[in-house]
Amino acid sequence: MRDVISAAVGKTVRQVARLRGGGSALPGLVVEKIDPGFLGRVLGRLPYGVVAVSGTNGKTTTTKMVVEMLEARGLRVFTNKTGSNFSRGVVAAAIQECSLSGRIDADVAVIELDEAHAMYFINRVPPRFTLLLNVLRDQLDRFGEIDTTARYLQRIADATTGGLVVNREDRLVARIGEITRERAGGPQVRDFGLAPDLLATFPSDDDFHADAAAAPSPEPADAVPADVTLTKLGDHKATFVIDGEDHHTSLKLEGLYNTFNAAAALSTVRMILAAGPQAGQSIANQPTADSAAIVEALSQVRPAFGRGEQLVLDDQPLELVLVKNPAGFRLGLASFEAAGVATMIAINDQYADGRDMSWLWDVDFSTLATDGVNLISGTRAWDMALRLEHDDVAVGHVEEDLGAALTAFRERTMGQPRRIYCTYTAMLELRRALALVTDVEDIW
Amino acid sequence: MTHSQETTRELVILSLYPRDMNIYGDRGNVLALSRRARAQGFTPVVVDLNPGDALPEHIDIVIGGGGQDSGQARVAADLAGRREQFHQLAEAGAPMLLVCGLYQLFGHRFITSTDETLEGIGVLDVETRGGSERMIGNIVLESADFGEVIGYENHSGNTTLGEGSTPFGRVLQGAGNNPTSGAEGARSHNVIGTYLHGSLLPKNPAVSDFLIAQAAKARYGSFEPVAGIDETTERARASAKRRPR
């Protein structure tokens, strides 16, 4: 009965909020107040339980990969698609999708959890499976130091009941895996990782803080064998080793980091499918953890919005690359060839971007020096211009206003392929402006 | 002075613990100082000092940043063995810029919020206590020697100054050393400690010029500035100043 009341109240609030043009999290807020156990009950009774995806970088795209691979294998998946990865957003999404009896028509929930807000969620819903991606510098002004973030992720791991997937190549995340392995009665732990010759392609923050001449931290001789290892990278191609077998695949995803996160998603999906439904539950046509079929499903996953998203503008490709921290920007620069493409950079410092611009000084922009940057925009355009000046990168034009900048960028670069590196809120604004002049996919 | 001498006037910049104490864009300060030194007619030579490394024979400017708690402990242990060397350098007038974590460790001590004490080397007469409140945001200072200083602070340490240090600046917008004093940073001799991290020097060439001038006077007897402030720097300062906290 309680579920029915909460579902009804939530749905009513949602309708009222929509009529008033309000935020998506309000119904969540109201139901949380009247029924704090709602989310736990509704998601807890799904046959495959709850899968949490956390870490500082790549959550949205990785969650999308896990969801789409599970769906391709025949599972019905509930997820927090709007990217509202705070707990109330999840409650709101649950209210939207549940029936009036408070049931969600799904086999499994895959939830993107913002590391700092995860505590609120896991106190209500212990995840059955958890994937921990990385601890990179990101929005430190909101979340404090890296060590603090690692402690949050540790607590998500501690709350996990069935299985944990960790990044073997991220020192802090790998450590969480070790601690969990040593804990009696803890969840099963699997690692995803990189072949040794790819380690240098994905520098950790530790390597990053060292000077360029210093070698990356040496691979320990007794490295944990990974469940899924990324062994080869190509242009929209990758090779993953699973159970000693090479799986070559094409990818629609963009960027090196997404390819590495694909190894994380593969390992997670393998673990979920191998475990099957929770005790006492069953589903019709239970899928098997067939690696070839999962890799095939991966090859069909398209980027989440703004994450290497490809649009067409004036009959030329336009690529949007989201950048929000030094490691991400550096990988973005390494992932995309600068030559022959007109470049724009849009840096905002709204709350959702993080107000602190110091991180721009931790990115090496010298790869842009050959062709220069056509246009810089955003609230902190001049900080970006100053940064590029220090790496001797020529800048064509600085225009703080994003709308005016996009118009100018179009006029100045007609007939050329284009790429825009942008922070989160700059990307949202650019997508809105672009939607007026070309096809832009609805936010995933 | 002949032209050839002028183009080869070097300044040795000692970059402290770039491996452990290089968060929040501290690398930008080293980059900006080198670039500014070049613009002022010097040849910068950056020497990294990581734990266990020998100090170079000659040092003109010392610069260092902040780091994680774990790195800070490792650095405190290494610094302890160099206490006398840094005191002698400071007393001889060597210019130094210490940001965040190294600002704390160049003070007497840093007492964490869990009551653990990290001993500093006491070059600056300051003491820091870990606080529960994080002081984060765009910050603007006023100082007699550097004019308006614009940057970003991010720390939970509360620093108090003893009589041997004077503030780096007076806070116009932001928190500074602690929530109550209205002061930011500390100076004694030609040593500056501050919580303004990352892009302090790129946005505040006056501070770079101070460091370069002190070093140049000590080594070459004089400093004649030849570089002004360019438009990009002025615009970056202006936009940072009007952004919310």
DSSP A264-324: HHHHHHHHHHHH-SPTT---TTPPP--HHHHHHHHHTPPPPTTEEEEEEETTEEEEEEE--
For an interface test with B, the pick among A208, A355, A361, A391 (most B C-beta atoms closer than 10 Å) comes out as: A361
What is the predicted pLDDT for the residue at A217?
Answer: 47
A10-62: per-residue pLDDT in tens? 677 666 666 554 455 666 667 777 777 888 888 888 999 999 999 988 888 89
What is the predicted pLDDT for the residue at A400?
Answer: 97
How close, in Å, is residue A383 to chain B by CA atoms? 5
Cβ–Cβ of B239/A400 closer than 8 Å?
A: yes
Give the separation between CA A297 and CA B50, rounded to whole angstroms. Answer: 47
Contacts of B32 in chain A (CB under 8 A): 390
Cβ–Cβ of A362/B238 closer than 8 Å?
A: no
Q: Give how far Cα A285 sits from Cα of A51, A175, A281, Å.
A: 20, 37, 13
User: Nearest CB to A356: which of B19, B22, B154?
Assistant: B154
Burial class (CB in 10 A: 0-12, 13-18, 19+), B10: middle
Cβ–Cβ of A398/B134 closer than 8 Å?
A: no
A369-418: per-residue pLDDT in tens? 999 999 999 999 999 999 999 999 999 999 999 999 999 999 999 999 99
Chain B: residue nearest A351 by CA? B244
Give residue for tokens 């749905």. A11
B61-93: per-residue pLDDT in tens? 999 998 877 778 889 999 999 999 999 999 999
Contacts of B27 in chain A (CB under 8 A): 361-362
* Closest to A377 measured CA to CA, from A411, A346, A423: A346
How close, in Å, is residue B164 to chain A by CA atoms? 31
What is the predicted pLDDT for the residue at A123?
Answer: 86
Q: Give how far Cα B134 sits from Cα of A142, A355, B118, B130, Å.
A: 10, 14, 19, 10
Q: How do B10-16 and B117-119 pair as beta strands? A: unpaired
Q: Give how far Cα B150 sits from Cα of B18, B109, B187, Å.
A: 23, 27, 17
B142-159: per-residue pLDDT in tens? 999 999 999 999 888 999
* Closest to B102 measured CA to CA, from B75, B135, B82: B75
User: Nearest CB to B31: which of A349, A361, A383?
Assistant: A361
Q: Which stretches of chain A sit within 8 Å of chain B by CB?
A: 137, 140-141, 144-147, 209-211, 214, 349, 355-362, 379-383, 385-387, 389-390, 398, 400
B93-144: per-residue pLDDT in tens? 999 999 999 999 999 999 988 888 999 999 999 999 998 888 999 999 999 9
Could you tell me if B22 and B101 are in contact, meaning their C-beta atoms sit under 8 angstroms apart?
Answer: no
How close, in Å, is residue A374 to chain B by CA atoms? 16
User: Nearest CB to B154: which of A140, A382, A400?
Assistant: A140
Chain B: residue nearest A149 by CA? B68
Contacts of B69 in chain A (CB under 8 A): 145, 147
Beta bridge partners of B48: B15
* DSSP type of residue A187: P
What is the predicted pLDDT for the residue at A214?
Answer: 40
Give the separation between CA A260 and CA A285, rounded to whole angstroms. Answer: 30
Cβ–Cβ of A379/B240 closer than 8 Å?
A: no
What is the predicted pLDDT for the residue at B7?
Answer: 56
Strands (E), chain B: 10-16, 43-49, 61-64, 96-99, 109-111, 117-119, 126-143, 147-161, 169-173, 183-184, 186-188, 191-194
Under DSSP, is residue A52 helix (H, G, I), strand (E, B) or coil?
strand
Give the separation between CA B114 and CA B92, rounded to whole angstroms. Answer: 37
Structure tokens at B173: 């917008």
Active site residues of A: 356
Give the separation between CA B167 and CA B160, rounded to whole angstroms. Answer: 10
Beta bridge partners of A223: none
User: Nearest CB to A362: which of B25, B202, B232?
Assistant: B25
**ipTM summary value:** 0.94
Q: Give how far Cα A236 sits from Cα of A133, A233, A431, A444, Å.
A: 21, 8, 24, 21
Q: Report phi then psi at A440, rounded to 5.
A: -125, 125
List Cβ neighbours of A31 (8 Å cut-off, separation of 6 or more): A6, A9, A10, A13, A38, A91, A95
What is the predicted pLDDT for the residue at A305?
Answer: 61
How close, in Å, is residue A149 to chain B by CA atoms? 12
Contacts of B23 in chain A (CB under 8 A): 137, 140, 209
Cβ–Cβ of B239/A382 closer than 8 Å?
A: yes
What is the predicted pLDDT for the residue at B86?
Answer: 98
Ranges in chain A, pLDDT < 70? 1, 5, 9-10, 13-29, 81-89, 116, 137-145, 203-223, 305-308, 441-444
> pTM for the complete prediction?
0.71
* Closest to A130 measured CA to CA, from A157, A92, A96, A103: A157
Mean pLDDT confidence for B41-58 = 96
CB count within 10 Å of CB A291 equals 18
User: Nearest CB to B240: which of A211, A361, A383?
Assistant: A383
How close, in Å, is residue A435 to chain B by CA atoms? 28
For chains A and B, count residue pairs whose Cβ atoms are closer than 8 Å: 106
Q: Give how far Cα B167 sits from Cα of A95, A364, B170, B206, Å.
A: 55, 33, 7, 16
B158-195: per-residue pLDDT in tens? 999 999 999 999 999 999 999 999 999 999 999 999 99
Q: Is B134 annotated as a binding residue?
A: yes
Burial class (CB in 10 A: 0-12, 13-18, 19+), B7: exposed
Degrees (nearest 5) of the Cα angle B239, B240, B243?
A: 90
Contacts of A362 in chain B (CB under 8 A): 25, 27-28
Cβ–Cβ of A209/B197 closer than 8 Å?
A: no
Catalytic residue chosen out of the listed positions B108, B155, B189, B197:
B197
Cβ–Cβ of B134/A362 closer than 8 Å?
A: no
Give the separation between CA A377 and CA A369, rounded to whole angstroms. Answer: 18
Cβ–Cβ of B25/A349 closer than 8 Å?
A: no
Q: Residue B238 pLDDT more than 80?
A: yes
Cβ–Cβ of A214/B19 closer than 8 Å?
A: yes
User: Nearest CB to A382: which of B137, B152, B232?
Assistant: B232
